[in-house]
Structure formats: structure tokens, C-alpha cells
Amino acid sequence: MTKRNEQAAEIVRRLHAQYPEADCTLDYDGPWQLMMAAILAAQCTDARVNLITPALFRRYPDAAAMATADFAELTELIRSCGLFRNKAKAMINSSRTLLEHHDGIMPDDIDSLTALPGIGRKIANLILGDYFGIAAIVVDTHCSRISQLLGLTRRTDPPGIEKDLAMVLESKHWILYGHLMVLHGRAVCQARRPDCPNCTVRDLCDYGRAGGESSDECH
């Protein structure tokens, strides 16, 4: 085990102790609802998405209903999430493709998931991990930024970051790691100014050990 492997394992251990409730913060029932909620969550808070999805799923309870959704009606339901036109297109088209190519059954492999319109690796890995329990790393903005500060990766592209993290994290921690990054990014390691003095992993963090004074390095 390398020093980075040991560092990563200890980071997970400490942050899990701090955030024992770490889990997906989107409300959903089944993989299709998770996919729809994840599409809505792009550049929007999970809390906002969770306010919208109850009415959305009452109106469109499954992929078949979404595949035939009225575009204008759908955009009104999701308008407060932002980017609502693009999101509506992705929701409708991914549901149609799911019906046409998978009989409405969510696939459990990365290639099939990323072939769905509007579904990139982030959403695909979320579905694999949180619904199917398949080891996958979700690289969102929190994961990307904090992993760089920690020194677990020097890359800035999500696929590269995912590869680096897969090398230093035990696969049993892949799913949990993404959730820990979200919670830590909201509570302590915020983008504008990380609260390094109150960070439980400061001594394991390249940025924290270097002083953690300049917020400019966090973007």
C-alpha cells in the first residue's frame, strides 16, 4: 500500500466518523427516479430538486409517462431548477431511449447508461453505486475540488480524476467517498474559503498542510 493509499483510507475513515449519515441526498424510488433527479440536480441544489420531484413524479410516474410528456408542461414543473429546457429534453429523450432499447429497465453497466441521452459518467456512476451497489466514483464539483486540495489527484478533468481516485481508494469506499466529499464540501471545505482550522483531515491534506490561507487555489 502506497502513502497515497494510506492517506486516502484515513481520510475516508475520519470523514465517515464525522458524517456517519453520508448517503445520496436526492429523494427517489427506483433507478429511473434517481436518473431524473440527477438530471435536475445539475447546477442546482439537491434540496431544491427534492422540493420539485414529488409533484413531478405524481405527474410522470415512470419512463413511459415521461417519454410522452408535453414539453411545455414539463418545463413549467422543473423551471425553478434552472437550465430547465435542456433538462426537460434530457429527461424525455433518456426515458424514450430506455423504453426503446432496454424495455424500460435501467441497465447496470456504464456503457449502456452513458449511451442514454443526457447521461454522463457522473449520473451513470451515481446510478451504479447508489441503486445497484456497484463500486463507482461520482466526480462532481465537490469531489473534484476537494480531491485536488487533498492531493489525491492533480488532474482537473472528471475522467482523469476518477481514474486517479480509483488508484488510491479501496473499491469498497468508492461510493461512500463521493457522498463524503459532498457533505464535507458543504460543511467545512467550502469553495469560497475552506475552513482549514476546523477540518478533521487537515493534516492529511496537501492544501491544509501548506497553510490553507489562499482561497484562490480552491477554484
Q: What is the pLDDT of residue 191?
A: 93
Positions of the chain with pLDDT lower than 50, given as ranges: 214-219
**19-65 residue pLDDT tens:** 999 999 999 999 999 999 999 999 999 999 999 999 999 999 999 99
The CATH homologous superfamily of the domain defined by 31-130: Hypothetical protein; domain 2 (1.10.340.30)
Query: How remote is the C-alpha of 23 from its chain's centroid?
Result: 11
- C-alpha torsion angle, residues 109, 181, 158, 96 (rounded to 10): 40
DSSP, residue by residue, 156-186: -SHHHHHHHHHHHS-GGGHHHHHHHHHHHHH
Q: Give me the architecture of the 3-22+138-218 domain, per CATH.
A: Orthogonal Bundle (1.10)
To the query of whether residue 89 is one of the catalytic residues in this protein, the response is no
Q: Is the pTM of this model over 0.85?
A: yes
Q: What is the pLDDT of residue 217?
A: 41
The residues, any chain, with a CB within 8 Å of residue 213's CB and separated by 6 or more, are none
CA nearest to 125, candidates 138, 115, 108: 138
Is residue 98 within 8 Å of 106, Cβ to Cβ? yes
Distance from C-alpha of 12 to C-alpha of 23, rounded to nearest angstrom = 14
Q: What is the pLDDT of residue 213?
A: 53
Distance from C-alpha of 167 to C-alpha of 133, rounded to nearest angstrom = 19
The residues, any chain, with a CB within 8 Å of residue 61's CB and separated by 6 or more, are none
Is residue 165 within 8 Å of 159, Cβ to Cβ? no
DSSP H or E run through 82: none
To the query of whether residue 140 is one of the catalytic residues in this protein, the response is yes
Cell of 168: 488510491
Considering the candidates 3, 27, 46, 122, report the single residue annotated as catalytic: 122
Residue type, 19: Y
Distance from C-alpha of 194 to C-alpha of 186, rounded to nearest angstrom = 10
Q: What is the pLDDT of residue 200?
A: 97
Considering the candidates 87, 130, 140, 164, report the single residue annotated as catalytic: 140
Ranges of each domain in the chain: 3-22+138-218, 31-130
